[in-house]
């Protein structure tokens, strides 16, 4: 194992969004400097970084120059082009590896990698032509979801097909791209598990988190999820399996469907901190972002033990439609923590921040988080 990267060094982040912002806040607290590479100015991460480099991800010379000045490179979202990660790796270690980025940023590669790792997924088939689509629908059955193989998140790039004869029209609406056809899982709940793996192979895995979505966007997360012990252990084991099989150095979030019979199916994987894990900032000994810093720097991982049950409520741009939200009313509720991401423009569906509520149990924390978010709305 290589020597650890110690405080005082400069860490590089590809991407300037809120995940990079929260990573940078932790890195600065731990004594590191951070340089952010992003195609925009005044990004959430760049606002508090030591340095912000503005250039397109496709400018590989700029990427190499950026990576030459840092001790290690990580990323804060998986849609960074694989060629960008490869160029950075010429100058500095990239953690997690660019190969993992390449796998998870495309649904077909991700599904096939999950299958190869031996973890359960929904039934799926891939299609690039009309004939292949017809075969995939027959193989998977209906109802099914057509998902573009790349550049999809928060429900984008998806169409539901309830009958086989609807598939061609749904594919046309998507622009007839290569797609993954997935069976609709009759799940009871959606959960996620955030885990970290260090350079030495050590792991820290958080308790499963229960997730509730609205319009395909994460709305509320609660930890710990109320699960039977055997389901909880299975979810953690699946995450441990993927961390090891994919040789992750960093943070991985595994999103799963819980079926009525207790079976778990992996839906998606994110090779970086995840929206559902934001509550770890306030409710756990060591947050997912500190684990990311520790992992990519080769330091021992921290404890994933919870200090308190907690819930996280996303704050979308819709809350600003009647003017500035009522921050004072929300913050007046006990146990509330406010996190805003420094985004200048509030747009419907855009993640502007989140609230975390601490409570005596997950249900109580969820009620407080929901009440605080409602208090933000001005009559």
- Read off the pLDDT of residues 63-76 as tens digits, 9 standing for 90 and up: 999 999 999 999 99
- Give me the pLDDT at residue 79, please: 84
Distance CA 236, CA 230 (A): 10
For the chain, give the number of residues: 379
- Read off the pLDDT of residues 301-349 as tens digits, 9 standing for 90 and up: 999 999 999 999 999 999 999 899 999 999 999 999 999 999 999 999 9
- Band (pLDDT 50/70/90 cuts) for residue 78 is confident
Question: Could you tell me how far CA 107 lies from the centroid of its own chain?
Answer: 15
Q: Is the CA virtual torsion 265, 312, 18, 174 positive or negative?
A: positive
CB-CB contact of 292 with 350 (8 Å): no
26 three-class SS: helix
Question: Could you tell me how far CA 68 lies from the centroid of its own chain?
Answer: 27
Distance CA 180, CA 171 (A): 11
CB-neighbour burial class of residue 345 (10 A; exposed 0-12, middle 13-18, buried 19+): exposed
What residues are paired with 45 via a beta bridge? none
- Give me the pLDDT at residue 317, please: 97
Average the pLDDT over 121-146 and give the result: 93
Q: Where are the alpha helices (DSSP H) in the chain?
A: 18-29, 60-68, 82-89, 98-104, 107-117, 130-140, 167-173, 229-245, 280-283, 288-296, 327-331, 362-375
368 three-class SS: helix
What residues are paired with 9 via a beta bridge? 7
Of residues 349, 237, 297, the one with CA closest to residue 30: 297
- Read off the pLDDT of residues 194-241 as tens digits, 9 standing for 90 and up: 999 999 999 999 999 999 999 889 999 999 999 999 999 999 999 999
Distance CA 377, CA 147 (A): 34
Average the pLDDT over 79-94 and give the result: 95
Distance CA 265, CA 257 (A): 5
- Give me the pLDDT at residue 33, please: 98
118 backbone dihedrals φ, ψ, rounded to 5°:
80, 20
- Give me the pLDDT at residue 364, please: 96
Taken in order of first residue, the domains within the chain and their CATH numbers are 10-94 (3.40.50.20), 123-183 (3.30.1490.20), 187-375 (3.30.470.20)
Average the pLDDT over 109-130 and give the result: 94
Distance CA 19, CA 75 (A): 9
Q: Where are the alpha helices (DSSP H) in 157-314?
A: 167-173, 229-245, 280-283, 288-296
- Give me the pLDDT at residue 216, please: 86
- Band (pLDDT 50/70/90 cuts) for residue 12 is very high
- Give me the pLDDT at residue 157, please: 84
Rg (C-alpha) for the chain, rounded Å, is 21
Place of tokens 């970086």: 272
- Give me the pLDDT at residue 105, please: 86
Paired tokens of 63:
């990427």
CA atoms within 13 A on the CB side of 251: 33
Paired tokens of 269:
């994987």
CB-CB contact of 365 with 357 (8 Å): yes
The answer to whether residue 166 scores a pLDDT higher than 80 is: yes
The answer to whether residue 286 scores a pLDDT higher than 70 is: yes
The answer to whether residue 374 scores a pLDDT higher than 60 is: yes
User: What is the pLDDT of the chain when averaged over all its residues?
Assistant: 95
């Amino acid at each position: 194992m290589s020597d650890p990267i110690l405080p005082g060094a400069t860490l590089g982040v590809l991407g300037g969004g809120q995940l990079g912002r929260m990573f940078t806040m932790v890195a600065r607290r731990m004594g590191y400097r951070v340089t952010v590479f992003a195609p925009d100015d005044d990004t959430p991460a760049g606002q508090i970084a030591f340095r912000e480099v503005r250039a397109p991800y496709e400018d590989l010379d700029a990427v190499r120059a950026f990576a030459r000045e840092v001790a290690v490179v990580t990323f804060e979202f998986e849609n960074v082009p694989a060629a960008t990660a490869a160029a950075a790796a010429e100058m500095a270690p990239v953690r997690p590896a660019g190969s993992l980025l390449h796998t998870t940023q495309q649904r077909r590669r991700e599904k096939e990698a999950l299958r190869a790792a031996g973890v359960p997924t929904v039934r799926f088939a891939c299609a690039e032509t009309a004939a292949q689509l017809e075969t995939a629908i027959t193989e998977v059955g209906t109802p099914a979801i057509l998902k573009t193989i790349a550049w999809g998140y928060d429900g984008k790039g998806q169409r539901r097909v309830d009958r086989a004869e609807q598939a061609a029209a749904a594919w046309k609406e998507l622009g007839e791209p290569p797609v993954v056809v997935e069976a609709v899982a009759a799940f009871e709940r959606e959960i996620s598990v955030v885990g970290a793996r260090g350079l030495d192979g050590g792991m820290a895995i958080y308790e499963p988190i229960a997730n509730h979505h609205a319009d395909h966007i994460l709305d509320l997360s609660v930890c710990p999820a109320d699960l039977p012990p055997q389901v909880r252990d299975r979810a953690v084991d699946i995450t441990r399996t993927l961390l090891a099989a994919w040789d992750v150095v960093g943070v991985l979030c595994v999103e799963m469907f819980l079926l009525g019979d207790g079976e778990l199916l992996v839906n998606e994987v994110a090779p970086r901190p995840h929206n559902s894990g934001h509550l770890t900032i306030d409710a756990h000994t060591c947050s997912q972002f500190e684990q990311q810093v520790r992992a990519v720097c080769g330091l021992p991982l921290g404890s994933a033990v919870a200090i308190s049950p907690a819930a996280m409520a996303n704050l979308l741009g819709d809350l600003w439609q009647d003017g500035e939200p009522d921050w004072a009313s929300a913050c007046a509720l006990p146990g509330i923590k406010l996190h805003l991401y420094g985004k200048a423009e509030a747009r419907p569906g855009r993640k502007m921040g989140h609230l975390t509520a601490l409570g005596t149990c997950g249900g109580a924390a969820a009620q407080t988080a929901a009440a605080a978010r409602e208090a933000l709305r001005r009559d």
